[in-house]
Every structure is written in structure tokens, then in C-alpha cells.
Amino acid sequence: MAVKAIRGFKDLLPPESELLTNIETTAREVFSSCGLKEIRIPVVEKTALFARGIGEHTDIVEKEMYSFTDRNGDSISLRPEATAGILRAVIEHKLYATSPILKLFTMGPMFRHERPQKGRLRQFHQIDVEILGTDSPLADAEVIWMAWDILNKLELKDIYLEINSLGCPKCRAVHREDLMLYLEGVYKDLCDDCKRRAKTNPLRIFDCKNEKCKELMVRAPLIKHALCPDCADHYGQVLDFLESFNIPFRQNPYLVRGLDYYTRTTFEFIAPGLGAQSTVAAGGRYDGLIKELGGPDIPGIGMAIGAERVLIALDKDKQKLDEGIDIFIAALGKDARFETSSWLPIFRKEGLKVVMSYEDKSLKAQLKQADKLNAKIALIVGEDELDEDIVIIRNMKTSEQIEIDIDDLMDKVLELCKKD
């Protein structure tokens, strides 16, 4: 029996694979307009990096990581997200010493052992941004603008932004006490996960998907009432910048998000048409994390777009895909095939897309192939044409054929295939 792919690991076939490339290309254009540089990091890291960088008591580290013992007995993990790896690289290579502010992006596969369903895979793709070295609220707004601009350029419909501030460790400590007190009162009605979270990471209970827990948390003390003056001012400035960028937002005081290290600004972009997995992009500030990972005490903010969810939300009809080729060379006979094969690199050098059959086939079969490839023209060359130094050009749309001298071939082809 043939071996099949692993559950939750999806093949991306054309044209879906091309749509993913389109999404990534759009993102690259936006990032380039913002002065970001690309960084590429490994797909595996030491498990300890994610435990420290994402947090021991997060869903990702507790139950979603693909961790293995390698042949040396070291525990390594497939990356579940990109931030920890990027920060490790920045610290390891002292990139922060090259420039006070680093603006980086990366894109590629991430891995989480979750229950596969629509919009939730075990291997999925993220487009990730990190801006390090500043706590300016303008940086927060700019990161949010990047996600907004990419999603708009892709023409996703009815996208909206939810935003909150999680404060700094000072505000968090005050809020934590109030929250713990509140949780004592409702403890017995929490789900098992939240009973655990109540002790290890109570803020995370706001993120629980369980209906009963959600209900109980409606009356829980909110972090927004505990923000210190600096954090409240920072949050207000982020909202002002969003207004000046014309980005509509909804403040959601219950938004906390999954990762332990978030401080201050936290946000999500939601595509309402997607159902249960409707968050297409998410991010936030993580001011203490670089120090926590052994680097200097510099602040940072980042976001990640989930490419597969964007793929589902795309209006496929509006996407410009590579439609077809310019030229199909239909050679008849060994000599004609050999002679015309030397044209391939010449046409390609002119930026034309050209294909010819690898095998000797009838004219009818070759024209059928040209049709399937959506070729603009076919160049038909048999022994007779070869002897007389002529080529038959067939317009694949109208089936009209003309005969031209081989010396005029390139000019005529360029005229017929010119992009409009």
C-alpha cells in the first residue's frame, strides 16, 4: 500500500500553492515598504528555548509541541512559532549591536500538535514580523498597520482588529492579586485546564474557549482597570496612531492571547467568515522577553499572520494567478526538435514563457498540450519548414496560422506575445 501523508500535514498543490506564494509576495512588498529585513532561522531548536521563550504554562509548550530526543540524547522541538527563534538568533549574533532598532521578518512552516480541523493544521505557515529596540507606540501601530495593509491588499472582506493592553509586570502584579481573589470564588466551576491555570497562569483563563469559563470570566476584574499611568498612556497613544492610520479597531478588554511573555499592546485580526478559527493574524509587545532569553534589556513587538487561514478567507476569483505560457514549440521529427530546442534559452532570455514537448508526438497531440498550457501561440516546425527556413505561427485563440521567415521570427513573436 502506498504511504500517505501524516494527519494534519497538508500538501499544498497548484493552484493553492501559488495562492500561498501570492500571499507571501504581497507581504514582502509591504515589509519592504516599511524597511524590514528578512531573517531565516532553523525549523528546529532546543526545547528549552521554547519553554523559556513562550512560557512553561502555555498551551503551546504544555501540549502542542513536537519534541524529540535526537541521537545525542538532546531534547529538540519543531518550532511552533518564530519569535523565540528570531530572538535567539538576534542574541547569539549580537544583532542588537549593529543597529539600535531591528526590523525583521520571516516566513515559513510552524508545527503544533493540535486536533486538525478547518483552519487548524499540524504544519501551517506563518508570516512573522518583529521590531526590536523600541517601546514607541508608533512601532506598535506600524506592526498592526503591516498586517492591516497585507490583508487589505489581498482584499479580505470584513476584517476587523481587536486590541487590548496587558500592562507591564507592575500592573500585572496588582491585577493578578485581584484576579486570584475572584477566581477563588468561582474555582469549583472552572474547567480542569482553568483550575490548573488559576494556580500557574490565571490571566490565561480569559483565553479559555470553554463556554462556562467564558461566562464566569465576564465579571472578572479586568487588566484595563489596573494599568499604571505609563501603560495607560502608551495604550492611548497606540490607539491615536491607529486612528491617524485610519485603521478601525474594537477594544476587547478580555483579549489576553496565548503566550506568557506578552506585555502592553496585544491584538488580533479577525475574519468573521472563518467560523471557529477566525483569527488570521495576531501579535503583541513582549518587553521583558529578550532579557529573559539572555540578551540585553530591550523591548520588542511582533505579529504573525496565519497563511492557511488567509488562504481560506481569500476571494479566489480575485487572485491574479499565472495564467499560462507564451509559446509552445510544436516540432515534428527528430531534426526539427533538435533545431528548435536551441530556441528555448533564446526566448526565455527575452522573458517569454516557452515550453516544448519532451517526446515525439503528432501535431494534434502537441497542439492539445499547447491548449492545455494556455499558450498564446504555437510555433510549428516540421522537416519542410526546416529546409525552407520558415516557421508556422499559430494563434492558439483564433487558430489562425501564418508562415514567416525564420529571420523575422523573434520580432514577430515579441509582437504577438507582448504583455498588455
- 311-315: long-range pairs with CB below 8 Å, 24+: 311/16, 311/19, 311/20, 311/23, 312/118, 312/119, 312/274, 313/156, 313/157, 313/271, 313/273, 313/274, 313/280, 314/19, 314/23, 314/154, 314/155, 314/156, 315/155, 315/157
Residue among 108, 258, 288, 324 that touches ligand ATP (CB under 6 A): 258
Q: Please, which of residues 197-256 interact with ligand ATP by CB under 6 A?
A: none
Query: Alpha carbon 325 to chain centroid distance?
Result: 28
Of 221-229, 273-281, 294-302, 352-360, which segment contacts ligand ATP by CB under 6 A?
273-281
Minimum CB distance to ligand ATP smaller for 147 or for 367: 147
Cβ(270)–Cβ(255) below 8 Å: no
128 binds ligand ATP (CB under 6 A): no
124 binds ligand ATP (CB under 6 A): yes
Of 70-78, 115-123, 140-148, 317-325, which segment contacts ligand ATP by CB under 6 A?
115-123
Residue among 308, 313, 354, 417 that touches ligand ATP (CB under 6 A): 308
Q: How far apart are the C-alpha atoms of 259 and 264, rounded to whole Å? A: 13
Smallest separation, CB 279 to ligand ATP (Å): 4
Residue found under cell 517601546: 135
Q: Please, which of residues 37-96 interact with ligand ATP by CB under 6 A?
A: 81
With CB under 6 A as the rule, give the number of residues binding ligand ATP.
19
Give residue number: closest CB to ligand ATP: 306
Question: What distances in angstroms separate CA 270 from CA 1, 19, 282, 391, one per listed residue?
Answer: 42, 20, 9, 56
Q: How far apart are the C-alpha atoms of 117 and 122, rounded to whole Å? A: 10
**Please, how many CA atoms are within 13 Å of residue 82, restricted to the half-sphere of its CB?**
26
Of 118-126, 189-197, 316-324, 390-398, which segment contacts ligand ATP by CB under 6 A?
118-126
Smallest separation, CB 120 to ligand ATP (Å): 4
Of 70-78, 188-196, 306-314, 344-352, which segment contacts ligand ATP by CB under 6 A?
306-314
Which residues make up the interface to ligand ATP (CB under 6 A)? 81, 112, 114, 119-121, 124, 126, 257-258, 277, 279-282, 304, 306, 308-309
